[in-house]
Structures are given as structure tokens and as C-alpha cells.
Structure 1
Amino acid sequence: MTAIARFGAIALDSRDARHLAQFYRALLDFEIRYESDDLVVLRGSGVTLTIERVADHIPPEWPGNRVPKQMHLDLFVTDLDVSEAAAIGCGAVKAQFQPAPDRWRVLLDPAGHPFCLTMAPNPD
């Protein structure tokens, strides 16, 4: 089977694109490739992450569904406790609801998007 398209980027909405981009830049050690008030493009580890300004952005609700999360990032780490503390140091907030804190931690980025810190699966 031949691919119809090639993966381009993950895009996140935020009221303040620059602020959210600074958070992900610090969290993931990505490089800023383009920056304006309306769009910031980050690149690292073979992944492109774009942050787009949406003036009326409403943060998703976690764990409820009044405002669905729509998508989230799973970020692989080697130590949950150390990584959680570092992410909070970058500006994340630990979500109150933690469905499996021994396996992954749910945090919220500065725009309210949930993301998970999780141990990388075994390559076997």
C-alpha cells in the first residue's frame, strides 16, 4: 500500500501561542523554527509541533466531557516522579484525576491541554 500523505505536524490551539510554545520548548527541548503572535513552529526529535493562536480557545475539561480534550500527547519518560516535577517546573499543572498514577501521570499544559507522562514501552 502506498501512503496518501506524509505526517506533517501536531497542532495545538491556545489563546497565547508564544506562551504555550515556550512551555513545550522547555519541556521537550525543541527548537523554535518560526515564531509570530499567531503561530509558533517547534521542531525536535523528528517531530514538528505547531502552536496556533485561537482567540476564543476554551481549554478542554479533564476528566469530564463538557469540553472534550479532542487529543492529547503521550510523552515517554524514564522516571515518573522526576519528570512530573520537571514538567510542573516548566508550568504544567497536575490534574486532580489520576487514573493510573503508578503507570502514567496526567498533567495540563498552560493552555489546559491534558498530556501524559508515561514510561516508554519495552522494545520487545
Structure 2
Amino acid sequence: MSTGTATAPAIRLLSVDFDCPDPVELARFYGEALGLPVVHSSDDFVLLGREGSPGLGFIRVADYRRPTWPDPSQGKQAHMELGVDDLEAARARMLALGAVEPPAQPHPEQRTVLLDPAGHPFCLSTQD
């Protein structure tokens, strides 16, 4: 969906892109977790998505520095909130795919914070 007016151009989200050391590996993780196919792949970039919807992109960065959340020295940079019906089942699936569970869990009754294979935090949430 794009929005615009007679005086402002329409702007639409094409993708959310993550820096990482290995775009193929991070795309595999999120592709399996979210059921998204690869729509573009090169040595330095992989894009997951579906026709007509924003995608998830993964960009190779040679000097990539992992987020250090909750330590503010490097910060979380960005994160995704993923909606789930069964928090524990989704947590187990993501851990099996390669996610890591950090000790810091700010709201464990509503969401679980996990780290993807490149260290980006993301949340599994039962809230809509």
C-alpha cells in the first residue's frame, strides 16, 4: 500500500534490510522461520519476500559488528516484532533454527527476546 497526495509523492516500504557477515545464512534462518522465499540473491545481498509485499533483505558487511543488546555500547540497532499464537512453541522453533536466547527478558509474560544468527535481537509476541 502506498500513500500520497497531490502535493506529496507516494512512498511505500520495499524492504527492511539487515547488515550481517553472511547474507545467505541469515536469509536461510528468516526464510525458514517466516516461510518466505528468496526473490533475489547475489554474493553480497539476499532478498526474501512475496510479490506485492515488503521484503527482508540481508547485506554482507565485511567489518560487521554484532549488536550488543542489552549493553548500550553497540545497541540493538533495530529489531522485528513477530506475532505468534503460541509463545513457547514459536520460541522452541526459532531456537532450533539457530536463534539464541539472551538472559535479558524484559516482559516474559508477553514476549520472548531472541537473537538471530548475526546477533540482531527480535521479539516473539502474543500481542497484536
Q: Normalization by structure 2: what TM-score?
A: 0.89
2:110 is aligned with 1:78: no
Deviation at 1:99, TM superposition (A): 0.7
Percent identity, aligned pairs only, is: 40
1:50-94 Cα deviation digits (max 9, x unpaired): 000001110101111100112100000001000000000111001
Alignment correspondent of 1:26? 32
2:102 is aligned with 1:95: yes
Whole-angstrom CA distance in 1 between matches of 2:104 and 2:44? 32
Give the SS at the match of 1:93.
Answer: coil
8 Å CA contact retained: 2:40, 2:46:
yes
Alignment correspondent of 2:47? 41
| Equivalent pairs, count | 121
8 Å CA contact retained: 1:29, 1:44:
no
Say which structure is richer in strand. Answer: 1
Moved over 2 A (4+): 1-4, 44-47
What is the aligned counterpart of 1:11 among 13, 17, 23?
Answer: 17
Structure 1, gaps ≥5 residues long = none
8 Å CA contact retained: 1:108, 1:114:
yes
**Structure showing greater Rg:** 2
Aligned-pair Cα RMSD in Å: 1.4
Structure 2, gaps ≥5 residues long = none
Read off the aligned partner of 1:32 and give its amino acid letter. V
